[in-house]
Structure 1
Amino acid sequence: MLKAERQDAIISLCNEQRSLTVREAAKALGVSDMTARRDFDELAEQGRIARVYGGARSVFDSKAADPLEEATHHSRPGGRRSEKEHVARLAASLVKKGDAIYLGSGSTIETMVGLLPRTRLRITTASLSVFGLVVDSEAYDSGLYELHLLGGKYDRTTMMFDSPETYAMIASYGFDRAFESAIGIMDGIAYGHSATAGFTVRLAFGASRESYLIADSSKIGKRDHNGYCSLREVDALVTDDGITTEQRAEVERYTKVIC
């Protein structure tokens, strides 16, 4: 079966069943979980399915939802795929054998999961989406990754656990490296989707030997309602080579740039 035919079949199954897991698709199409997962990711980037933990939903089902309801994490539009992959690959290259790492949330962090080194790692996250991607990875299946999910109250908008229980759990951890994404970077401040989730990030950064903000260059010069940390709190911004000379000079007033 050609790739295009396989992906059309996935869309048809999603529309018929309203939702479909990676393993169900792999079994139905006679392919590996990894191949099905890649197809799911590509189709979600194209907006042809809506990616959810462990699988996907029909976009028709997604569009039938209350139009006034806030967009959830998995329904946010994707874009700048090559830039995000470049940033995610750079960030993943900073991870060393035996590291204990914290992974935040966002599409670039999710891309980073598949690019992590296949070596012994302890991975901690408060993101249910990131957790699911690690669970689905071959490195986790082979026992290379030790995985920890921070619990507490679940926020379905960000697909993260975020509450006093989450904060208490972070206090008991120590990390070699922590990674978080941003939807905007301006005047030395990183902006995210949720002000409360920013508290989780700052705690993770404080518990880590090294902390990194990862964002493609389109985020630089943009602000949002929720500023969650100063660039002075991170060791570096990991971005793509689309960053301009002026943008780089501005960011480097506060922290190092890796691109």
Structure 2
Amino acid sequence: MLAAERYDRIVELVNLNGSMRVSELSERCRVTEETIRRDLDRLEQAGRLRRSHGGAVSVKEDQPEIPYRVRETTQAEEKKRIAHAAVSMIEPGDRILLDASTTAGYMAASMPDIPLTVLTNSIQVATELSSKDKIEVISTGGQLAQRSLSFVGPLAERSLETYHVDKLFLSCKGVHPESGSISESNELQARLKQRMVGISDQVILLADASKFGVRAFARVTGLQAVHNIITDQVPDPEMLERLKVYNITITTV
């Protein structure tokens, strides 16, 4: 593969997935990680993508949602580790809220059958929990977003106003300590997640390393609203120093 072809392939992969890690791009393009890092530097200078901690993110604004089945197989092992750690934070009797992320789907699949109330806008989460007799599942309803197998829109947002939960397990497209925000590439998802934060006592952010340093199109909330972050890699020292300001507990798995 010529360098120009590799550049196009890298941009195509990053735009398709929203973000990609150096290791994934290295495997897909069959070149070393050092080569990929140089490529990403050049592509960022050309304005075709934006570097993030450990990879790159798309610069396309308000991207269409990536289909759930595509996201489900992207960084699957990292997401499963994060999901396992998140499940360990759940206690019998909790009222929890799960968003429509693939990590939430992995949480639902591995969740023990204990007395819980689970509120969700995810079809996948509701399906995974349907066989667990002790767990009460409440769906937001709303407009079906087919690509993410989730409910969004005004009806979903209004339904959240009826409830109050102990813990919210929240995903995002970007965690940006410098601006103090977490963000999404899709405005409808961002608006719904804003409502989720507003009805939750504790916000637990599920974010793999590729999300750090990223500032996506639609703001969800400020980092001051986040109590815990579960991630798969320790953020770099500069990132950790910025996160200290917000007094967030960080768990690395």
| Aligned twin of 2:197 | 205
**Structure 2 CA distance for aligned equivalents of residues 132 and 169 of structure 1:** 19
Amino acid across the alignment from 1:127: S
Contact 1:153 1:162 in 2 (8 A): yes
Q: For residues 138-161 of structure 1, what are the alpha-carbon distances to aligned partners after superposition, in whole Å with 9 as ceiling and x for unaligned?
A: xx1xx1111111111112133221
The 3-state SS of whatever aligns with 2:142 is coil
**Structure 2 CA distance for aligned equivalents of residues 71 and 144 of structure 1:** 32
Identical amino acids, percent of aligned pairs: 24
| Aligned twin of 1:217 | 209
**Structure 1 CA distance for aligned equivalents of residues 145 and 75 of structure 2:** 26
Q: For residues 21-45 of structure 1, what are the alpha-carbon distances to aligned partners after superposition, in whole Å with 9 as ceiling and x for unaligned?
A: xxxxxxxxxxxxxxxxxxxxxxxxx
Q: Provide the alpha-carbon RMSD of the alignment.
A: 2.0
> Which ranges in structure 1 are unaligned for 5 or more consecutive residues?
1-68
Residue 123 of structure 1: how far off its partner (Å) = 0.7
Q: 1:85 aligns with which of 70, 80, 87?
A: 80
The 3-state SS of whatever aligns with 2:241 is helix
Residue 200 of structure 1: how far off its partner (Å) = 1.6
1:86-125 aligned within 5 A: 86-125=81-120
TM-score under structure 1 length normalisation? 0.66
Q: 1:74 to 1:255 in 2, by over 3 A?
A: farther
| Aligned twin of 1:195 | 187
> Which ranges in structure 2 are unaligned for 5 or more consecutive residues?
1-63
Question: Is 2:206 the partner of 1:235?
Answer: no
| Aligned twin of 2:137 | 147
Q: 1:248 to 1:73 in 2, by over 3 A?
A: same
Contact 1:97 1:119 in 2 (8 A): yes
TM-score under structure 2 length normalisation? 0.67
The 3-state SS of whatever aligns with 2:245 is coil
Q: 1:163 to 1:112 in 2, by over 3 A?
A: same
The 3-state SS of whatever aligns with 1:114 is helix
Contact 2:174 2:215 in 1 (8 A): yes
Question: Is 2:65 the partner of 1:75?
Answer: no
Q: 1:77 to 1:87 in 2, by over 3 A?
A: closer
Q: For residues 209-243 of structure 1, what are the alpha-carbon distances to aligned partners after superposition, in whole Å with 9 as ceiling and x for unaligned?
A: 11111111221112222221211112121212343
Q: For residues 73-125 of structure 1, what are the alpha-carbon distances to aligned partners after superposition, in whole Å with 9 as ceiling and x for unaligned?
A: 32347333332222111211111111111000212111111232331011110
Q: 1:148 to 1:224 in 2, by over 3 A?
A: same
Q: 2:171 aligns with which of 175, 181, 186?
A: 181
Q: 2:156 aligns with which of 166, 182, 186?
A: 166
**Structure 1 CA distance for aligned equivalents of residues 121 and 114 of structure 2:** 22
Residue 195 of structure 1: how far off its partner (Å) = 1.5
**Structure 2 CA distance for aligned equivalents of residues 151 and 71 of structure 1:** 21
**Structure 1 CA distance for aligned equivalents of residues 210 and 66 of structure 2:** 21
Contact 1:108 1:215 in 2 (8 A): no
| Aligned twin of 1:66 | none
The 3-state SS of whatever aligns with 1:185 is strand
